[in-house]
Structure 1
Amino acid sequence: MEREIVTPPELAEPRGFNHGVLVDGGKTLYLAGQDATGSDGDIVAPDDLVGQFEQVLDNLATVVEEAGGVSEDIVKLNIFVADRDAYRANLEPLGEVFGRYFEEYPALALFEVSGFFKEAALVELEGFAVIDEEAADAR
């Protein structure tokens, strides 16, 4: 499976995201919105955006791994936050968490929303992964 980062020279250089990811081959996995719910059903790290963000990425990675992939197979994420200013104030620690799951950023979009299903949730992510069938079979 080939993966190519698409960065048009006419657009501003991306920082903390990529404009596009072109993938050839593989199976598409649609990732449902994940909040910071832990295995006990409760929100992990109440009132801690960075802690919740890490749990959300861990939840997404678990889904991708169950399908035979790895977190790097995620090519698009939509990030929903309760407070955009809090997200922007935590860009460095959020970037550090992101770096534990991705060598290269997927295509990203950020949305501020008025609330989530679980009131204690501060962030939710959903997106797409493309899983290389041959690599998945080898794992």
Structure 2
Amino acid sequence: MEKEIINPPALARPSGFNHGIRVSGGSLLFLAGQTANDAEGRVVAPGDLVGQFEQVLRNLRAVVEAAGGKMQDIVKINIFVSDRDAYQAHLKELGKVHRSFFGSYYPATALFEISRFYQDGILLEIEGMAVIGSEA
């Protein structure tokens, strides 16, 4: 699988995401929305946005690795938050957690503020797509 990061000079320089990623080869893996639930369905880190973000990335990693991939195979994520201002207030800590899972790689990303999640106590949810390659 080959990936090409697309950040055209006609757009503002991205920080913490990429505008686009062109992929050739590999197979698509669609990632269902993951929340901060553990294997028993309990909410991890109640009231802690950064702690929940870390659990969400753990859950995404479990799906990607079960499909034979790695976090850097994720090419697109949509982040849904209950409080955009809280998300922005924690960008430095969230960035540190992001780098612990992705390194310096950033998928194409969108952020949405929504009014409620299916389960009470959830502060964010992330869904997306990965392209799993067959590298020899």
Q: Does the pair score TM above 0.5?
A: yes
Report the Cα offset of residue 39 of structure 1: 1.2
Report the Cα offset of residue 134 of structure 1: 3.4
Aligned to 2:101: 101
Report the Cα offset of residue 30 of structure 1: 0.2
Aligned to 2:17: 17
- Consecutive aligned runs of 4 or more in structure 1 exceeding 4 Å deviation: none
Aligned to 2:37: 37
| Residue 116 (structure 1) aligned with residue 117 (structure 2) | yes
Aligned to 1:77: 77
Q: CA RMSD in A?
A: 0.8
The superposition leaves residues 112-137 of structure 1 with CA deviations (integer Å, 9 ceiling, x where unpaired) of 000101110000000000000235xx
Query: What CA distance in whole angstroms lies between the structure 2 residues aligned with 1:17 and 1:130?
Result: 17
Report the Cα offset of residue 50 of structure 1: 0.2
5+ residue gaps, structure 1, are: none
Query: What CA distance in whole angstroms lies between the structure 1 residues aligned with 2:96 and 2:48?
Result: 15
The superposition leaves residues 54-78 of structure 1 with CA deviations (integer Å, 9 ceiling, x where unpaired) of 0001100100000000011000000
The superposition leaves residues 83-114 of structure 1 with CA deviations (integer Å, 9 ceiling, x where unpaired) of 00000000000000000111310000000000
Aligned to 1:87: 87
AA partner of residue 133 (structure 1): S
AA partner of residue 90 (structure 2): N
SS in 2 for 1:116: coil
Aligned to 1:127: 128
SS in 1 for 2:28: strand
